[in-house]
Structure formats: C-alpha cells, structure tokens
Structure 1
Amino acid sequence: MTATHDTARRDFASDNYAGVHPEVMDLLAEANGGHQVAYGDDEWTARLQDVLRRQFGSAALGYPVFNGTGANVLSLQSMLPRWGAVVCADSAHINTDENGAPERVGGLKLLTTPSPDGKLTPELVARQAWGWGDTHRAQPGVVSITQATELGTVYTPQEIRDLADQAHSLGMRLHLDGSRLANAAASLGVPLRALTTDVGVDVLSLGGTKNGLMMGEAVVVLDPEAVTGIDYLRKLDMQLASKMRFVSAQLVALFDGDLWQRSASHANAMAARLSEGARAVAGVRITQPTQSNAVFAVLPPGAADRLREYRRFYDWNPATGEVRWMCAFDTTPQDVDDFLDALRAAVA
C-alpha cells in the first residue's frame, strides 16, 4: 500500500499533530474485542472511574467526551445558571480558540481580564468578580484557569489555592481547563491531584489528545455539589459517545500508570532543549518562560516564513513577529537539533 504521508515527519505547530502513542493504540486494540454495553455502561468506563479516583481522590467522577471544547462547555454549563458568567484570562482557550462555543452552545458570558503571562491572580479576578444582584450584568459564578496556560506558563499549587479560596469566599467555583495538565504536573514534579483536588479545584477538563490519545478528554467532577444536570447536558451538548469504551480505554491507558507523566516529561524536555538552543541564536528572543511543552519567540522579519519552508508552526502575534513552537511526546532530540539548524539558516 502506498503511504499517504511522510511518517517520519514531525512539525512544531501543535501537539495535536502527533500520532497516537503505541501504548494507547495497544489498549484500544484490546478494548475492541467483543461487545460492550453502549453509552458508558461498559467495563472500560467503569475501570476509568477507578483510575480517576486513584488520581484525583475518592469523590472524583469522570464524564468522557470527544474533545476539549466539549469538555469546557459541558463543565462550565453544568456549573452555572443561564445568567451566569465566567471570569478568565483574555488569552484563555475558552475565549480565543473555541469559536464562541461557551457563549453560543453553553449560553454563558465570558468576563475576560488581560494577563501578560496567561495566569490569573486574585487581583485580576477581582476586576470582573463584582455586580451580584445587578440585573443588568451577567452574574460571575465561575473562575476558569488554564493549566498549563496558552502561553506555556504553569500555575504553582499555591497560586491555584489562592484563586480557589478567593472564588469560594465569593460564592463562586473554580474550573480548570487541563488540556495540558500533564505537562504542568510533570514540569513541577507533582501528582495530578496536587494541582486540582488538593488545592480546591471544583471541576476539571482533563486533557488527553495533546498527550498521545487519538481523541477524547473527560470532565472530572471533584466536588459533586459544583454541578447540576451534567448527565443530561452531556447528551444535549452532543458529547455522549455511543461506543464510549473507546474513549475510556484511551484515558485508562494514559492515566492508569505513568504514561501521562512519561509522555509529558519528554515533551517538556524537548521544549526546554529547543528554547535553550533558540536563545543562543542571534536575533531570536524568547518571550515567555519555557515551563511546559511550548516555546514562544520573536524572530527577525522574514525569518519565520523561511523557517516554515522546513517545518510547520504558527504565528502567535504577527504584528510583533512572535511565533509558537510546540513539542509532543514523539518529538526527538534530533528533530529539535535539525529544527535549530534550520532556524540558524533562516535567521542568517
């Protein structure tokens, strides 16, 4: 059979470009045998609940979904009344990259605040957390943070605890968009619950696709009192998989052992290697701390277009020449070194 793509090619545009981790593929093949009850009443989804309780505590309850946008919309919609609002950073994925789905599908309002490093602080939240009882204003009910952030930065456990304490003192809840939670935990060398359950997060969007899954994320409810009607909303939001065992089995493969940590640690290490090498190239400026698997840099005029002839990546801010490079579980040291060679040539 003729190959339809170059299986040796690895770009730096997104960790979504990467294939499926072989260990995930192996468990998918195992889950494929025989018949299993549909819509989540299968043995793999039951096993996933055990895995999530081990990772996040005895109260954790997981709802597998198809994708990250679905996980975020379902989470926030279940946490808020129709008149509710979400406080988030202006760079948050729910604000910049979900095509209005939280507003149009979830029916909620996003109250954004600028954040140079992508991270919220209690002071930034306070800019939007006001107006309760004012019928002219959407009512703030949830603070949503992204871990790791869209700028590749990472919240410490104490920073999350401070936000949770503030939100709870105001009668609000804390949601964590964890599409790259594994990268953040690996960067800090802490278990997943240290950034979620142990510091007051109420609901988690748990990512998998960016860390070696074919598809699939999960809403993980950490406080059952934080959500209402989530079982029905998952169907309403078109996120209820009929053959759910194939989503659940992938999540089991990733989180039952240490695959999540091994894969994320490797991606982070490749980003650190890339950041260090790029920092030494004259004319290249690294713009954000490289704390996960993302590298942000400003290149001289024209260099990005020349470099893109070698490998794909995305502009982050075309006005300033800032670009984003992403590493994945399958990025190799040689991939990084070859890309750096191409960068030096493009800049020269």
Structure 2
Amino acid sequence: MRSFASDNYSGVHPEIMQAIISANEDHMSSYGADPVCAEAETLFKEHFGQQAKVFFLTTGTATNTLILRHLCKSWNSVICSQDAHINVDECGSPESMGIKLMLAETENGKITVETIKPLVPSEPDVHRAQPAVVSITQNTELGTLYTVDEIKAICDFAHSKGLFVHMDGARIANAAEALGVSFKEMTVDCGIDVLSFGGTKNGCMCAEAAVFINPEAGENFEYLRKQNMQLISKMRYVGAQFKALLTDELWKRNAAHANSLARKLADKAGKIEGVKITRPVEANGIFAIIPGHAVEKLQARFPFYVWDEQTGEVRWMTSWSTTDEDIENFCAALKELI
C-alpha cells in the first residue's frame, strides 16, 4: 500500500531501525539512565542549548498534554488555534486533565498577536480561567508555516503577559527545512519555552520528546511523566532513534525529501483539470478539492483523508519514504478517475 493519508503511515527509516538494532546489544540501565539516551540528550542540547531539559515519551498526544498539564494550575487555560491538534485530534486529552482550551481565530491555521489579545484579560478576573500558555503548531494543521518573525512576535506578547509559549512540533523538521532555519533560530532565539519535538512523523517509531528550553518551566516534569505512565523501562530504544535522527542531519534529509515531493505532487496534480489546490504548500501537506465521484475510488488505491466533509476538501501528505513513482502513479490514477 502506498499512502498519502499521513506521514505516520510510512515505516521506520533504515538508519533509525539500525540504531534500534544496535541498541539491542547487551544489558543497559533502564528508565533512560543509559549511555544511548545520554548521547541523544547531548545532541538535543547542541540544538536547544545546554540549559534545556529533555524528556523522552512515546506519543505526541501524551507529550502535548503532559507539557500543558505541567504548566497549568487547575484555574489556568491554554490559548490555541481552533484547528490545533490539541483541540481537534486528541480525543479531549487536555480537557480530561482539567486543561481549559481557549480558541483563537486563525487564518490558514495560524494565530496572531491580534487574535490572542481578546483572550488575555487586561486585569486578573477571578470569574475567568486565567491563561497560562499560548500553544502554536509548527507546521500548522493546515500545512502552513509560522515565520521566525511571527513566532517571535507571539512569544514577546505572551511573555509580556506572563504566559509560557508551547510549540507543538510534531512536524518541526519539515518546518525548519522549509524555512531554511535551524531548530535554534525557530525556537530558542524566538523565545519558545517548551517544545513537543516530533520524531514519529519523520522516520521514527514511537519517539517523541518534551524539550523545556526554559529549564525552570521543566522543573519536576519527570514526576508527572512517571505518574502518567510515559516513563519507558527500556528507554534506550527511544534514545537510539533520536541519536540517529539528530546525527548527520538525518532529520533534515528526511524532511527535505518529504517537502520536495509535496511540491511536486501539488504542481503535477494542480495541472489536472478538475483539481484545485486550496492552500499554500509550504511543507509536506497538500490540501485540494477534487470531484466528489473520484474520492472514494482514489482512496481505495491510495489512502488519504477527506479534511472537510462540507467543502469536500482533501489532504495529501508526503513523507521520507514517498517516491517519485508514487507521485506519478497517484496523479495518473487521479486523472483517470476524473
């Protein structure tokens, strides 16, 4: 099966799988107290600073939710996009932990200082949940990117109001590669306090990380991780994946491949009569509208998601393992069905 449904559908990158196999030799200390995890943490610190606190987890939902739970008291709230993964796609996980989400209006998936302002009271109000965090997704759920200047503006405003800024970086590698910037330039230099660093969508297997760039924000997070069943006994297998991903810029090579094939798919499919590319293609996501009669037949051959049932908008995702042949075959089938 060749899929355009999600970069989650792709397998594990061979270099990462080999790293897992290599970590499978002999005995090692458990719960992350092993040399493989130590090497991976060192690589993270090279990108995010020696002050950064790094915690490995296994799912994006757990990473996002536990970070927000850690930063919020019971009377706090989190400001996010109405399209945010934490709002739409995590089965109420933040709410199940008592985290109130306050939804800011978006344009192409992005919130701005202007859309955040109405949700931040000018004075403390005992009758309202008090915002504690602004959460942004990079790249967004609609495939768009925050520029470095846009991220910095949000961080500056949030910090002026005493709020933390969290970045959901499930596809952070795709964003950094597409913008032509380093992780540091897009996070540390902008003022991001804490990051959900995604590995799974970029060639890993059950590998995510909470990176507290602001170390004070990460104090005692290890206890919350344990309490919520995300402290993995054989953590070396997660650490090994990040060690491989952050060595020789594998993260960048994988992301560059996915991004370039997304552009190719958008260009080729967009020339087919009856296909409309609906949003900017800035990373590895393509949004389009195609004739309704072709959707299910095409999905049967190449799985993908209908993004908006009302408008008929669909989403196609490319990954590190998407090939030129996949693009050719997909577009040929699309043209034939139309």
* TM bucket, shorter chain: over 0.9
**Residue type matched to 1:83 in 2?**
W
1:44 aligns with 2:53: no
Instruction: Tell me the TM-score normalized by structure 1.
Output: 0.95
1:173 aligns with 2:164: yes
Q: Which residue of 2 aligns with 1:6?
A: none
Out of 200, 218, 242, the residue aligned to residue 233 of structure 2 is: 242
Structure 2 gap ranges (5+): none
After superposition, what is the alpha-carbon deviation per residue over 1:150-204, rounded to whole angstroms, capped at 9, x for unaligned?
A: 0000111111000000000000010000000000001011111111111100000
Aligned: 1:87 with 2:79: yes
Residue in 1 that maps onto 2:299: 308
Letter in 2 for 1:192: F
Structure 1: gaps (5+ residues): 1-8
Whether 1:341 aligns to 2:326 is no
**Bigger mean CA deviation after superposition, 135-144 or 221-230:** 221-230
State the match for 1:20 in structure 2.
12
What are the residue-to-residue correspondences of 1:98-247 with 2, within 5 Å?
Answer: 98-104=90-96, 106-130=97-121, 133-247=124-238
Contact 1:78–1:228, Cα closer than 8 Å, also in 2: no
- CA distance in structure 2 between the aligned counterparts of 1:168 and 1:333, rounded to whole angstroms: 45
Q: TM-score, normalised by structure 2?
A: 0.98
What is the RMSD of the two structures over their aligned residues, measured on CA atoms?
Answer: 1.1
Which digits, 9 at most, give the CA deviation of each residue in 1:23-59, with x for residues without a partner?
A: 0011111111111111111111111111011111121
% same residue = 46
Moved over 3 A (4+): none
The SS at the match of 2:135 is: strand
Query: Match of 1:309, SS?
Result: helix
Q: How big is the shift at 1:228?
A: 4.2
* Counterpart secondary structure, 1:16: helix
1:297 to 288, 292, 316: 288
Q: Residue 134 of structure 2 contacts residue 164 of structure 2 at CA under 8 Å; is this kept in 1?
A: yes
Q: CA deviation at 1:136?
A: 2.1
Say which of 225, 240, 259 aligns to 1:268: 259
Q: Please name the residue that 2:323 is paired with.
A: 332
Equivalent residue of 1:266, what SS?
Answer: helix
Question: For residues 192-241 of structure 1, what are the alpha-carbon distances to aligned partners after superposition, in whole Å with 9 as ceiling and x for unaligned?
Answer: 11111111000000000000001110000100122343111101221111
Assess if the C-alpha contact under 8 Å between 1:131 and 1:137 holds in 2. Answer: no
Distance 2:44 2:91 in 1: 30
Q: What corresponds to 1:66 in structure 2?
A: 58
| Residue 131 of structure 1, CA deviation | 6.5
In 2, Cα distance between equivalents of 1:261 and 1:200: 22
d(CA) in 2 for partners of 1:218 and 1:333?
31
User: Aligned partners of 2:264 and 2:168: how far apart in 1?
Assistant: 26
CA contact (8 A) 1:209 1:215 kept: yes
Aligned length: 338
